[in-house]
Amino acid sequence: MKQPLTYADAGVDIDKANALVDQIKKVAKSTFKSSVLSDIGGFGSLYSLSTDNLKSPVLVSSTDGVGTKLKIAFLTGKHDTIGIDLVAMCVNDIAVQGAKPLFFLDYISMGKLDSTTAMAIISGIAAGCKIANCALIGGETAEMPGMYQENEYDLAGFTVGVVDNDRIIDGSDIRVGNKLIGIASSGLHSNGYSLVRKICFDVLKMDLEEHLPELGKTLAEELLTPTKIYSETLLSVARDLPINGLCHITGGGFEDNLLRIIPKACGIIIKENSWEIPPIFTFLKEAGSVEDMEMKRTFNNGLGMIVIVPDNAAQDVFGRINAMNEKAYFIGEIVDRKAETDRITWV
């Protein structure tokens, strides 16, 4: 008689997955607020939306991943910060519309469930949720034999936030004379890593544990620096100061992202050398002989967020951002655009 097969024989260990859920509950609960009405492990997650201070609440949602930055985590075996990146990529995208993040869900998929790795990832996600002041209320950890290389996985995140309808920031109030204030990034964030890996590993044949004097740290430490989460800073500024537009500098760099929110009748002047560029960007530019425009459309180049404000509020906004231990820089302004001219001018 043939030996009866089980799901575990096919590579899916239900008992291990159930044990992991019990571990996740403890971590997730550290992010809970009174609005969370359900525990981890249900079919759906319940969140009570309080609208007492909102006249006309609008929900804002975003989903994202961290791209090939995952490859660096695989190579180093360090998985406790990549979850912060995941939260940042999602909550920063709703923060630019003026939304306060409420809750977060994650999706982790592995070929073979590694509880230690999964818990490291989820601990990072919880840490990111605490920075963003939102709750980790649910997710999915999938074991999918044959889908991934050994010790590899995929990640996705999903967040929902809320903003009052008359407080939505969508760029429609941007006018000629508005000032651009850039807020410093923590480094590469989570974009451009395919080019980073091409330069560092294919061209330079570098080792991740190589210490780089110009960076003051190892290559691995630099490449795994978590993406900065800006939501609390932006919400503080928007609470009582005017913001006409916000731009999260992610994939596409300055060129693509700024044009998503600037009216077509307006032009943008950006002053080069008006902010401090972290050494990792200079290193990549020189090592890969990357042209200036390619740098500007691939990386954040030291600015993870750009705030567009009326001229008469610019100094107040600048001061508020710096008071919250962020580095802010005046980097340009909005100008009238003549027909057929470039929408962004670097001076």
- Grouping H, G, I as helix, E, B as strand and the rest as coil, residue 307 is strand
pLDDT at 278 over 70: yes
Band (pLDDT 50/70/90 cuts) for residue 78 is very high
Query: Mean pLDDT, the chain, as a whole number?
Result: 93
Average pLDDT over residues 198-204: 95
In whole angstroms, give the CA distance from residue 89 to residue 190. 8
328: which strand partners? 183
Average pLDDT over residues 302-311: 97
CB 182 within 8 A of CB 331: yes
CB 172 within 8 A of CB 129: no
Average pLDDT over residues 218-240: 96
Edge-first strand order for the sheet with 179-184 is: 245-248, 303-309, 179-184, 328-336, 266-270, 344-346
In whole angstroms, give the CA distance from residue 31 to residue 83. 14
When mean pLDDT is compared over 189-193, 211-215, 341-345, the highest value belongs to 189-193
Amino acid 39: pLDDT? 85
In whole angstroms, give the CA distance from residue 320 to residue 236. 8
CB 245 within 8 A of CB 257: no
**Strand pairing category for 135-143 and 100-110:** parallel
Q: Which residue segments constitute the domains of the chain, with CATH numbers given?
A: 8-167 (3.30.1330.10), 179-346 (3.90.650.10)
Amino acid 28: pLDDT? 87
Average pLDDT over residues 172-187: 96
Q: Which range has the worst mean pLDDT, 7-21, 270-284, 287-301?
A: 7-21
Band (pLDDT 50/70/90 cuts) for residue 1 is low
